[in-house]
């Protein structure tokens, strides 16, 4: 791989990492027993959507770089993309 590809791959890994950390933080807050309001619910859904988007982008990038994923991962990716296409930004107001 060249430096541009390495940079792009690392950017996608870090985007997924950040999305998972954000989602986990919100889930921890929801499990803590603190009051759950509509804003927290909306942020939780948006964070989950962010994980799907980041994971999809990472896998698509890897596949475009020549990686062949296992069949089960391909099925998961297709499912994630169907879910994302059905939300169509509805989670963001």
Domain housing 79: 3-92
User: Mean pLDDT of successive 10-residue segments in the chain (93 residues)?
Assistant: 82 97 96 92 94 94 95 94 78 49
pLDDT at residue 87, rounded to an integer = 72
What's the pLDDT at 36? 92
pLDDT score, position 67: 95
pLDDT at 89: 56
Q: Which pTM was predicted?
A: 0.83
What is the per-residue pLDDT for 88?
62
Are the C-beta atoms of 40 and 30 separated by less than 8 Å? yes
Q: How many domains does the structure of the chain reveal?
A: 1
Angstrom CA distances, 74 to 2, 8, 12, 60, 68, stand at 26, 21, 18, 10, 9
Among residues 20, 85, 87, which one has the least CA distance to residue 48?
20
Tell me, what's the pLDDT at 34? Answer: 86
**Residue where the block lists tokens 């942020």:** 43
């Amino acid at each position: 791989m060249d430096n541009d590809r390495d940079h792009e791959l690392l950017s996608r890994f870090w985007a997924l990492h950040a999305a998972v950390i954000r989602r986990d933080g919100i889930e921890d807050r929801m499990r803590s027993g603190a009051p759950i309001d509509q804003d927290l619910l909306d942020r939780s859904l948006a964070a989950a959507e962010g994980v799907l988007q980041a994971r999809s982008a990472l896998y698509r990038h890897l596949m475009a770089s020549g990686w062949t994923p296992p069949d089960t991962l391909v099925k998961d990716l297709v499912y994630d993309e169907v879910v994302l296409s059905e939300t169509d930004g509805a989670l963001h107001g």
